[in-house]
Every structure is written in structure tokens, then in C-alpha cells.
Amino acid sequence: MSTPITAKMVNDLRTQTGAGLLDCKNALIESNGNIEEAITILRKKGAASAAKKATRATLQGLIESYIHVGGKVGVLIEVNCETDFVARNEEFRVFVRDLCLQIAAASPLYVSRDQVPEAQLNTEREIATAQVQGKPPAAVQKIVEGKIEKYYSTVCLVDQPFVKLQEKTVKEVLTEKIAKIGENIQIRRFVRFQLGS
């Protein structure tokens, strides 16, 4: 059974490749609905250019950076919101800058706990279990869970204590900003470079 080709799929492919309507539809039929394959088919026919056209940004928000004095640590972040109006809002901008400082200072590895790789989590659990010995199993489990929570609050940006206001987590400050600004705000991604590491 072949995948039905929807108008949306054809449209997405057109946006990505700049190829004609009919070419896109035929390529999708040939690739059985697989977009990546359809792009390859269009490129083979010369109907799409080598570099994917930049897809129209449907999200609003801000990309911000921070370079620590001396240029040994740098941060790049993308924070999304719903409208360009909020992206230009001063409070939103200050919050994004604060997140950059947070990442420079506290070196998180992930935005949130769902991004921690399963294998990494298993290693942490194993280490935590080995560190607890001679206690009843129920107590061990509780201590291990506590250590895992501690691990999250070390490596996940939103679980870290907010550097500017240690009694709150980044997530709590984020929730407050969402309530105050009245728009969903999402920390989409970040990178942190440290010289030579």
C-alpha cells in the first residue's frame, strides 16, 4: 500500500527545494512519500538546487551569544517565542542574555532531562548504586533517585539553580516569564565552547 501524498507534503517539498508543483508531486509518488528521498530524486533531475533552500522560519525568537572576557568561553543560544513583538521585548531579551550567562557560568550539557542519553543515565545510576552500600534496598533506591535528581540539576539547564537568583531554578524563572509576558517561550538549543576542551 502506498502512502497518500497530501497537499501539505507537496507544499513542504516545494518550500524546501523551490521545484515546481508537478515535479514535487511526482517525486513524492516515486519516493512513496519520503521527503528526503524525494529531494534526492528532484536533484537528480536537476529540478532542485544542491543546497536546500532555507526553510521559512515559522518560529519567532532570538539568537544571542556571550563571550566571556578574554575569549576563552563562548555561548550561543536560540530561544523561541510566538511573535516577533515579544522577540523585541526588553524583558525577553534580558532573560535570553541571562540564560547565556547561566550557560557560561554553570556549563550545562543539555536543555532538559529528556535530552540526557539513556546510556549516560544508566552509567549515573550504576555509579550512584555502587556508592551506596550496606543499606536496606528501599533506602538505597531513595538515595539513588536523589543522586539522579542532583545529576539532572548539574547537567540540565532548566533544572539548574538560576545563577542570578539561586533560590529558583531556571525552569521556575522561565515559567514566571511565560506568565508575565503572556506567550510560550522555549529554550530551543544552545552550545558552549571552552577553549581547547
Query: Least distance from C-beta 165 to a copy of itself, angstroms?
Result: 22
* Other beta carbons within 10 Å of 177: 20
35-44 vs 21-30: helix axis angle to the nearest 10?
120
10 versus 79: smaller Cβ distance to a copy of itself: 79
**Amino acid making up residue 78:** E
Query: Least distance from C-beta 160 to a copy of itself, angstroms?
Result: 12
Q: Which single residue is written with the C-alpha cell 511526482?
A: 26
25 versus 61: smaller Cβ distance to a copy of itself: 61
All cell numbers assigned to 34: 519520503
166 versus 179: smaller Cβ distance to a copy of itself: 166
Query: Least distance from C-beta 87 to a copy of itself, angstroms?
Result: 7
32 versus 179: smaller Cβ distance to a copy of itself: 32
Q: Which single residue is written with the C-alpha cell 519567532?
A: 60
From the DSSP assignment, how many helices (H) and strands (E) are in the chain?
8, 3
All cell numbers assigned to 194: 571552552
Contact residues: a copy of itself, CB under 8 A: 40, 43-44, 46, 50-51, 54-55, 57-67, 71-78, 80, 87, 107, 123-124, 126-127, 130-131, 150-151, 154-155, 189, 191, 193-197
Q: Strand (E) positions, the chain?
A: 60-67, 73-81, 186-194
* Nearest-angstrom CA–CA distance, 129 and 132: 5
Query: Least distance from C-beta 58 to a copy of itself, angstroms?
Result: 6
Radius of gyration of the chain (CA): 23
Query: Least distance from C-beta 59 to a copy of itself, angstroms?
Result: 3
1 versus 78: smaller Cβ distance to a copy of itself: 78
